[in-house]
Amino acid sequence: MGNFIVKSIVSDYEVNFINNTKQTLDEELNDADVVIIDNIVKDLYPDILNIKLKNNLTIGIDARETTKSYQGLIPIIEKLIASGFRKNHRLIGIGGGITQDITAFISSIIYRGVSWFFFPTTLLAQGDSCIGSKTSINFGEYKNQIGGFYPPNKVFIDLNFLNSLSEADLKSGLGEMCHYFIVAGEEDFNRFKNEYTLVLKDKELLSGLITRSLEIKKSYVEIDEFDKNERQVFNYGHSFGHAIETLTDYAIPHGIAVSYGMDIANFISVKLNYLTEDIRYEIRQLLEQIWDGYNIKNISVEKFKNALSKDKKNVGKELRLILCKGYGKVFKAGMQMNKEFIGWLEEYLISSLNKVVDKL
C-alpha cells in the first residue's frame, strides 16, 4: 500500500512509512512543538532526539495504564502550560498505544484542540492504533472510560523501532492485529495464521501484515469513524479483553487480553449455535500461541461479571458483545447477564483454558 491518506471527518491525515525517525523529526518539527516520548524509547534511542531544533521541550512519560488516566495527565498538562505551549504549537507523540492515547487526548482538550503528530514505536501502535482517531484514557479502575475522536495530523511509521520490542509486546501487537484478519475473512485469516510463526523473524513479512491490518481498519474507519455502526465489529474480543486487563491489573498486555477475549466471544458464539466447534478450534490454535505464557485461570467469575458490567458499550443492563458466525462474519449482539450467560463464563474459566492444541 505504501504511504496513504486516511479520510477523516475531523481532518484527513497522512500515514508515511519512514526509515530514519531522526531525519524526519529534523524535517518536520517546528521550534515550539513539544515532544511527548515514552521514557523507554527515549533511553533506547537517545539519538533520535538529537535534533537540530534545540528549543523543543521534551516530556518523558512512563508508558503505564496508570499514566493514561485523569490523574496521570495532570503533570503533563502542567508542564505544557508552564512552558508557554500555545494553541498554534503541536504535540509530537513518540511511543506505543499508551503514549498515543495520552498525546491524542491532551491534544484534543488543551486550548480546545491543537495539532499533533504520532510516531508509533510498538507493533500494536503501528499495526492498529495509529489510525482510527480514538483517544481514550482510563478512569478509576476501569479502562478507556473517557475519550473522543481526534486524529493525528500525520503518522510516521518506522519499522526499525520494532527491533527492540520484547516478545510479549510483539505478541500483544499480533493479538491485536489478528482481530482485523478474522473480521476481514477466511483468506486474510489463513494468511495471518500461516505467517504468524515467521513474522517474528522476518521483517518483510511483518511489514506486509502491518500494511494489510491498517488497510482493513482504514476501510471501516472511513465509513464509520465515530464507531456508530460498521466499525463496531472491531470491538471483537475487547469487552472480555478489557475486563481481563482490569482484573489482572494490566499484567496481561492489551493484545494478549484481546486474544483471550476473542476466544471467549467464540465460546459464547458456539453456545448460542452461531459458530461451529471446528472454526472455534481453528482460531483457537492460533490464539493459544499468542497468549502462551499468560494465564487467566485465577480470575473469579464474580469479578469478571462485575468488570463486564462496566463495559462502556453496554446499554442499560444489556451487554453489547461482538460474536462470531465464522471468518468475515462477526456481528453485534445484545446479551443479558443472566444465569445461563454467567454459567458459560464459569465453564470457560474453569474448564476451557487447558491447552487444546500443540504448536502450529
Q: What are the residues binding ligand NAD (CB under 6 A)? A: 38, 40-41, 44, 63, 65, 68, 95-101, 121-122, 124-125, 128-129, 132, 134, 136, 144, 161, 164-165, 169, 172, 253-254
180 or 267: whose CB is closer to ligand NAD? 180
Instruction: Report the nearest approach of ligand NAD to the CB of residue 323 (Å).
Output: 21
Q: How far is the CB of 97 from ligand NAD (least distance, A)?
A: 2
Nearest to 95 by CA among 76, 114, 79, 78: 76
Q: Which is nearer to ligand NAD, 175 or 326 (CB)?
A: 175
Q: Which one, 129 or 266, has the nearer CB to ligand NAD?
A: 129
Closer residue to ligand NAD, CB minimum distance, 90 or 238: 238
Q: Could you tell me the smallest distance in angstroms from the CB atom of residue 229 to ligand NAD? A: 17
Q: In this complex, which beta carbon is closest to ligand NAD, that of residue 118 or of residue 344?
A: 118
**End-to-end CA gap in the chain:** 29
In sequence order, what are the residues at sequence separation of 6 or more whose Cβ sits closer than 8 angstroms to the Cβ of residue 349? 296, 297, 299, 301, 304
Min dist. Cβ of residue 254 to ligand NAD (A): 4
Asked whether 103 and 176 are in contact (CB, 8 A), the reply is: no
Q: Which is nearer to ligand NAD, 135 or 266 (CB)?
A: 135
Q: CA-CA distance, 298 to 153, in Å (whole number)? A: 43
Q: How far apart are CA 163 and CA 206, in angstroms?
A: 12
CB of residue 132 vs ligand NAD: minimum separation in angstroms? 5
With cell 505504501, the residue in question is 2
The least distance separating ligand NAD from the CB of residue 275, rounded to whole angstroms, comes to 25
**Distance separating alpha carbons of residues 91 and 226, to the nearest angstrom:** 23
Q: Which is nearer to ligand NAD, 17 or 301 (CB)?
A: 17
How far, in Å, CA of 112 to CA of 103, rounded? 14
Tell the smallest beta-carbon distance from residue 212 to ligand NAD (Å): 17
Cell of residue 87, nine digits: 494553541
Indicate the residue whose CB is closest to ligand NAD.
97
| Cβ–Cβ < 8 Å for 114, 89 | yes
Least CB distance to ligand NAD at residue 84 (A): 28
**Dihedral sign, Cα of residue 304, residue 306, residue 309, residue 310:** negative
Cell, residue 171: 505478541
Contacts of residue 46, defined as CB under 8 A and 6 or more positions apart, other chains included, come to none
State the number of CA atoms in the 13 A half-sphere of 160 facing the CB. Answer: 12
* Continuous segment of H or E residues that includes residue 270: helix 254-271
β-bridge mates for residue 138, sequence order: 69
Between 225 and 280, whose beta carbon lies closer to ligand NAD? 225
